Amino acid sequence: MTAHPARVEFTLILRPFPGIDRVTPHVDPDMSEQLHVAIALDGAGWHPAAWRADSARPGELLSARYWVDQVRVAERGLVDLVTIEDAFSLWRRDAQPRTDRAVGHLDAELIAARVAPAVPNIGLVPTVVATHTEPFHVSKAIATLDHVSHGRAGVRIRISHRADEAPLLGRRTGDDPVADLLDEAADHIEVIRGLWDSWEDDAEIRDAATGRFVDRDKLHYIDFEGRFFSVRGPSITPRPPQGQPVVAALAHHDDVYRLVGRSADLGFVTPGDPDQARHAFDTVQAARQEFGRDDEPVHVFADLTVFLGPTRDAAVARKARLDDLAGEEFVDDAPSVVGTAADVADRIVELANPTTGLTGVRLRPGSIPDDLRSIADDLVPELQRRGVFRTEYREESLRSRLGLDRPTNRYADRRSKAGVR
């Protein structure tokens, strides 16, 4: 498998998957007709020359104000969540370093924690490179984000087999087999989920009169022993408000579809047409069943990179100008849609509907702020006119917005089944 030179670890490989019956997505019936929309934020936008657009703010990319402003625009569009890109490599978009690319970025988890108090509704899902990050650190960072945001946190787990990233930490060679990295990511997710449950919901007593702050019987060692990690626990952070913040992953081929079905709540895929969308969905759902997650819904969203304009010609001309500035035509790992809000809405409805099983899309703005504003101010109203998107935020937590139940704490559940109070 060949790594995509821009940002992803895998080439899209799509093959028939025989023997799997169609599986209806297990989501809340009240939300079955509601389209979910996420926005992927990455600096000045997904086009490498976006920072040179007239409306761009390249001098503010490393400021808190910039990120708060962009997430507020996304929230104006009533979208479910934003993801925030992150990587260990400085040169994320190119095989060779280039001085005409905007490089340097802030830590995604810390951006999300800064933004959370400033925006009251939208879900916040920073990216974590699991290959080079300890799950204990991730668990407490995302649990903290969930507390700070009052239940709107998630995490996008990413793996890395880039040779230029491994030397930055000096603990690996960068030549790990992809299958091993995926198994490690699955264990990573299991550890962070276990740590989130290591405090029962009522473990904190906070009784100043008796001097008891915590019930030690409701703090638990997770005692995880696996091929890649040995983690005792418990966490230092009480259980998150959602119980389990949303876990997401980006997937381009069957092996990673299986990771989504095995471990995640939400998968982002990059289908070029409805048949590829159905294949991705079926493979995710087959893995969900294989790993005994029949009662745990798994959403699948299609990724689209978008360049919007008041007319199709205007959108094409704007992307062409960015291509000229970059010195080459922009091609992403996800399909690109260049056109009006109606054009993008047509593509969304084609890919995310009951016939494919996909329940939403994640939109990558080609240029920020232009395409981000167009998503909020033009595309969302178009989807609302078609009756497929919300007109207000109703749910308080990200899990509830996605129709996901708040999971029972695994240790409290065991105590209950054992008849112990």
Residue 56 has which token pair?
A: 């761009």
198 near 219, Cβ under 8 Å? yes
Q: Is 175 annotated as a binding residue?
A: no
264 near 248, Cβ under 8 Å? yes
Buried b (16+ CB within 10 A) or exposed e, 41-78: bbbbbbbbbbbbbeebbeeebeeeebbbbbbebbbbbb
In one-letter notation, the amino acid at residue 87 is: A
Q: Is 86 annotated as a binding residue?
A: yes
Q: Which residue has the tokens 């906070």?
A: 206
At what angle are helices 135-149 and 178-196 packed, to 10 degrees? 50
What is the rounded distance in angstroms from the CA atom of residue 357 to the CA atom of residue 359?
6
Which whole-number Å values give the CA distances from 139 to 90, 118, 242, 351, 363, in the listed order?
25, 23, 13, 33, 27
Q: Answer left, alpha or beta for residue 403, where phi above 0 means left and psi between -120 and 50 means alpha.
A: left
Which whole-number Å values give the CA distances from 262 to 191, 205, 393, in the listed order?
14, 35, 30
Can you say which residues are annotated as belonging to the binding site for FMN? 86, 127
Residue ranges of the binding site: 86, 127
